[in-house]
Structure 1
Amino acid sequence: MKVQTKFHGEVEIKEKDHFTFESGIPGFANEKKFALLPLEETPFIVLQSMKTREIAFIMSSPFEIFQNYEVKLSQDVISDLHIDSEKDVYIYVILTVRDPFNETTANLQAPIVLNMSNQLGKQFIMNSSNYSIRELLIPSPELEEE
């Protein structure tokens, strides 16, 4: 299936590469199908809506950037995504890319959880966490000195 994308132009995306978000993503409830598209030569990936060209989220694996980041999935998420094995689960965080880039933030409070074995996805809002929705991707030098 050919899809018009925000960052990659027109691309061919196979049915097996679609992820279904049965409840959509908060703020985008009508967007149920997405695809993962790598941003070449970067550590980032795009979660592209299959329906709406303009809806595309730049994401990153949080574990390489935030060494102490932890996600404890709720039973609801495990059940909704039919997770049988931890090895099938990929976790990403949505970035808000800013100019200059060192002001880019990551939403650590609401990661995207993907079950790679059945192509189901969900944004998991960790209400009881101490994580921020606007965590600096590159900490400022002033914060590191404290």
Structure 2
Amino acid sequence: MTDTELDLPVIDMAIPMPGFPAHRQFVLVRLNDEGLLYAFTSIDDPELRFLVAPPEPFFPDYAPEIESEVFAALNTKDPDRLLVMVVITAGVNETTANLLAPIIVDRDSHRAIQVVLTGSEMPVRAIMRKTY
């Protein structure tokens, strides 16, 4: 970890991400000046990082329904305090976003959870295009 990363707030996973049960603490590292791309980086293993982005610039109509269990796990009731990030897969010919399983972060407590939107038709690989 760099000094810059150590100054960032630590995000505690309320429930570990699927497939990564040993990794409970992450930092969100900005990768570009526009704030459109971040590395969701494990504190314990900085080699483990996920490329994430806020969905709004790419999918302006994306508004996942957050279930009450998520609010309970994050210990919050205010949807306006939630930061939604989608996991990005950068490919040679296209870049996609997982809209089915966003990472939800409570801005106040810095607790997070990756949720699978049940009953949703959201794609796992939505092609990303900047909309502005």
CA shift, 1:138, in A, is: 3.0
Which blocks of at least 5 consecutive residues in structure 1 are unaligned?
A: 4-9, 140-146
Aligned pairs, number: 128
Aligned residue for 1:80, secondary structure, equals helix
Q: Which runs of 4+ in 1 moved over 4 A?
A: none
Distance (Å, rounded) in 2 between the aligned partners of 1:59 and 1:70: 17
1:134 aligns with 2:104: no
Matched with 2:29 is: 37
Aligned residue for 2:101, secondary structure, equals coil
Instruction: Give TM-score, length-normalised by structure 1.
Output: 0.81
Matched with 1:122 is: 113
Query: Which structure has greater helix proportion?
Result: 1
Matched with 1:6 is: none
Kindly provide the CA deviation profile for residues 21-72 of structure 1, in whole angstroms up to 9, marking residues without a partner as x.
0321111111000001100235111111001122111111112211221111
Distance (Å, rounded) in 2 between the aligned partners of 1:11 and 1:107: 30
Distance (Å, rounded) in 2 between the aligned partners of 1:88 and 1:82: 11
Distance (Å, rounded) in 1 between the aligned partners of 2:85 and 2:66: 13
RMSD of the alignment, in Å? 1.6
Which blocks of at least 5 consecutive residues in structure 2 are unaligned?
A: none
Whichever of the two has the greater Rg, that structure is 1
Aligned residue for 1:128, secondary structure, equals coil
Aligned residue for 1:72, secondary structure, equals coil
CA shift, 1:83, in A, is: 1.4
Matched with 1:53 is: 46
Distance (Å, rounded) in 1 between the aligned partners of 2:117 and 2:14: 19
1:104 aligns with 2:102: no
Question: Relative contact order (alpha carbons < 8 A, sep ≥ 6): 1 or 2 greater?
Answer: 2
